[in-house]
């Protein structure tokens, strides 16, 4: 699928409005606002070939465990290429930086990420 075709099918997920204003926790056992639950939602759209625009403004905070499971978890589940080309973020600079730092850390821990 070309990048233009993928961008034509953009799905926007506003975390605060569509998921939770207070996302927390790593695993689904930690509650319905966990990173694992959010990652599952992202994976469905990404594997479907949609471009996902994640809006992280409006949340009260983003814990490192939520960020790691939601976004670096995509890398662990084989979505690294899709993550690079199939996702973008809308947020304040500090929110985007938190996600990028998490992904950079995960990439350093797993130098052989599936492409």
Q: Which helix (H) or strand (E) holds 42?
A: helix 35-47
Mean pLDDT is lowest, of 9-23, 68-82, 91-105, for: 91-105
Mean pLDDT is lowest, of 4-8, 24-28, 32-36, 109-113, for: 109-113
With respect to residue 114, please indicate whether it lies within any of the assigned structural domains: no
User: Which domain, by its residues, includes 84?
Assistant: 3-109
With respect to residue 39, please indicate whether it lies within any of the assigned structural domains: yes
Q: How many domains in the chain?
A: 1
Share of the chain above pLDDT 90, in %: 37
Mean pLDDT is lowest, of 15-24, 26-35, 49-58, 84-93, for: 84-93
For residues 51 and 88, is the Cβ–Cβ distance under 8 A?
Answer: yes
With respect to residue 115, please indicate whether it lies within any of the assigned structural domains: no
More confident residue, 79 or 102: 79
The C-alpha angle with vertex 38 and arms to 8 and 16, in degrees rounded to 5, equals 80
- Look at residues 52, 63, 68 and name the one whose alpha carbon lies nearest to residue 23: 63
Order of strands, sheet of 10-14, starting from the edge strand that comes earlier in the sequence: 10-14, 51-55, 87-90
């Amino acid at each position: 699928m070309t990048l233009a075709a993928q961008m034509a099918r953009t799905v926007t997920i506003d975390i605060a409005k569509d998921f939770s204003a207070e996302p927390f926790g790593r695993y689904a056992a930690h509650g319905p606002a966990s990173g694992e639950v959010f990652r599952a939602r992202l994976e469905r759209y990404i594997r479907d070939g949609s471009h996902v625009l994640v809006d992280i403004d409006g949340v009260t905070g983003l814990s490192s465990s939520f960020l790691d499971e939601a976004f670096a978890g995509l890398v662990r589940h084989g979505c690294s290429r899709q993550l690079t080309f199939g996702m973008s973020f809308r947020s304040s600079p500090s929110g985007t930086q938190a996600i990028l730092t998490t992904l950079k850390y995960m990439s350093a821990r797993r130098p052989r990420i599936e492409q």
